Structure 1
Amino acid sequence: MASNEEMSTSFGSAAGTYETGRPDYPIQAVDWMLQPVVGGERSIRVADVGAGTGKLTRSVVELGAEVVAIDPDPKMLAVLREHVHGVPTFVGTAENLPVPDASLDAVLLGQAWHWVDPDAGAAEAARVLRSGGVLGLIWNIRDDSVDWVRRMTAIMHGSRAEQMLGQGVPPVAEPFGEVEDAQWRWSRAMTRESLLAMARSRSYLITAAPDERARVEAGLHELFDELGAVGDAVVQLPYVTRAYRALRP
């Protein structure tokens, strides 16, 4: 099995698949993370950290904020620029943000905080946020309370994010205080090909040996046949979006 570091930096090799397979975020959830800093005459300034192909970036843009996208992988940022125009992009990590001190109203991470050192990430977010700024964390998690989704997860293997969130609120170090949380339930219409793209965009499968990848995909094909996800037939994949926010003193 690949190391956590190898997994965390693997997505660029499957950037197009990631863009196809991963869902967008409910706009209500993104708005909730930003609510503590909205208001006033000026547009708020936001960094989307671990921006990937821009799934979260486009929601922030839709809400009218000024946003910069930061990711460690230039290949992911290249796909972001194809889909979200006019957003500045920078190579960087949550632990080393290419942003001046106290220059942002919000630092947001989508599907990313589980790859971050929570102490270093919190300290760096505090550096770039203004007083009263918000650190927002969000994940789209498949709803494993549904039997076939739980079986699919078992075939694909659980992710680092799912393991972390299974233990409760994600760790956020000082100087941030109380972490608020909220969640939204929804579903995404998926075909067999988009379900496969979702699976192939996961770090476990990207970094797996060819025989393990073939074993996982064979199990998925068997499950999808059972579900009737054949050709253009659509199934609804249920999700729970979990969002968290904490304020900088």
Structure 2
Amino acid sequence: MPTLSQGQPDRHVPEPHRHRQVAESFGADAERYDRARPRYPEALVDRIVAASPGRDVLDVGAGTGIEARQFQAADCTVLGVEPDERMAAVARRSRVEVEVARFEDWQPAGRRFDAVIAGTAWHWVDPVAGAAKAAQVLRPGGRLAPFHHVPRLPAEVMGALAGAYRQVAPDSPLDPGVLGESALDAFQPLFTRIADGMRQAGGFSEPEQWRFTWERTCTRDEWLDQLPTFGLLTRLPADKLATVLDSVGAAIDSLGGSAAMPYTTVVVTSTRSGPN
């Protein structure tokens, strides 16, 4: 599903974990990714920590360590698993321990955790195999809690982005609903797939969703710094990317040089049941 911006869903791609070329494109500019990508609500971090039996956390698809650092700040011990060495190298520079592997192939070597998290990354993991691996490494009562940002772009920005993307990539049009008013509806198949993976893997309580609403205001420069980290733009040639950025920059100028983007960050979560 998600191959669009920040992991946003593409309704025509039912199994995003099979489309690794998009996931592997983020490391091409890992420093920008770490600088520009939004952090997660502190209330989300606090709730996951409070609902877990301890503070040993495994971060799947840790990327450059954005959410790992937030959990470290909440007094957690965090181990990241990240398939891209370029992303992992940035995380390690900020004192996040990372092992390089696809989660499905990663070897836990007997280690156990109180929480398994994934920040806008679980859609790159096979939902059943990933949940089964999480069940293997979680202590009884431990929490599986992947979470995803659902941004809603301002109409002017969404229109500029969709129009420019249609111009530079006419065979891959961007559905305005994915990042616009109907963004949460567009994401629901992803959240259902994650929950179904937990059910099929077994050993988990009935999954539930936690939602956190918040807003981020970005200047023109901040918008244009973040956009090249969107999955639909990471593989565009430089000239086509420039066309998109010029169009979006003009839209933000028309709004006075900055624009707010509302977010809903959704956690699909369940607890490990059964014996040790």
TM-score, normalising length from structure 1?
0.84
User: Runs of 5+ in structure 1 lacking a partner?
Assistant: none
Q: Secondary structure of the residue that 2:75 maps to in structure 1?
A: coil
Residue aligning to 1:108: 117
Structure 2 residue corresponding to 1:20, chosen from 20, 35, 38? 35
1:77 corresponds, among 72, 84, 88, to 88
Letter in 2 for 1:188: R
Change (3 A) 1:199 1:73: same
Q: Does 1:225 align with 2:253?
A: yes
| 1:23 aligned counterpart, secondary structure | coil
**Counterpart code for 1:74:** E
- C-alpha displacement at 1:225, in angstroms? 2.1
1:205 aligns with 2:230: no
Q: For 2:111 and 2:160, locate their aligned partners in 1 and report how far apart those are by CA, in whole Å.
A: 43
Aligned residue number for residue 134 of structure 1: 143
Residue 56 of structure 2 is aligned with which of 37, 42, 45?
Answer: 45
Aligned-partner Cα distance in 2 for 1:211–1:112: 28
Query: Do the aligned partners of 1:48 and 1:67 also contact (CA within 8 Å) in 2?
Result: yes
Which of the numbers 206, 215, 218 marks the counterpart of 1:187? 215
Query: RMSD value over aligned CA atoms?
Result: 2.7
State the Cα deviation string for residues 60-115 of structure 1 (Å, max 9, x = none): 11111111111111111111123x32x32110222123323461111100010111
Match of 2:20 in 1: 5
Q: Secondary structure at the match of 1:213?
A: helix
CA distance in 2, matches of 1:98, 1:213: 38
Percent of matched pairs sharing the same residue: 32
Q: Tell me which residue corresponds to 1:30.
A: 45
Within 5 Å, give how 1:152-167 maps onto structure 2: 154=162, 157=174, 165-167=187-189
Give the SS at the match of 2:248.
helix
Match of 2:98 in 1: 89
Number of aligned residue pairs: 238
Structure 1 residue 57 and structure 2 residue 81: aligned? no
Query: What one-letter code is carried by the residue in structure 2 that aligns with 1:178?
Result: E
Provide the secondary structure at the position in 2 that maps to 1:206: coil
Quick one: distance in 2 between partners of 1:147 and 1:214?
Answer: 21
SS at match of 1:121: helix
State TM-score, norm by structure 2: 0.77
In structure 1, give the amino acid aligned to 2:143: V
AA aligned opposite 2:217? A
Match of 2:243 among 190, 215, 221: 215
Change (3 A) 1:209 1:166: farther
Q: What CA deviation, in whole Å up to 9, does each residue of 1:105-133 have, x standing for no partner?
A: 11100010111111111111111111221
Contact 1:102-1:127 at 8 Å conserved across structures: no
Could you give the per-residue CA deviations for residues 36-55 of structure 1, whole angstroms, max 9, x where no partner exists? 224xxxx5211111111111
Q: How far off its partner does 1:167 sit?
A: 2.5
CA–CA separation in structure 2 for the residues paired with 1:168 and 1:121: 14
Is the partner of 2:38 in helix, strand or coil?
coil
Structure 2 residue 262 is the aligned partner of structure 1 residue 238: yes
Q: Are 2:161 and 2:244, in contact at CA under 8 Å, matched by a contact in 1?
A: no
Helix, strand or coil for the counterpart of 1:165?
A: helix
Change (3 A) 1:153 1:120: farther
1:164–1:170 contact (8 Å) kept in structure 2: no
* SS state at 1:24 partner: coil
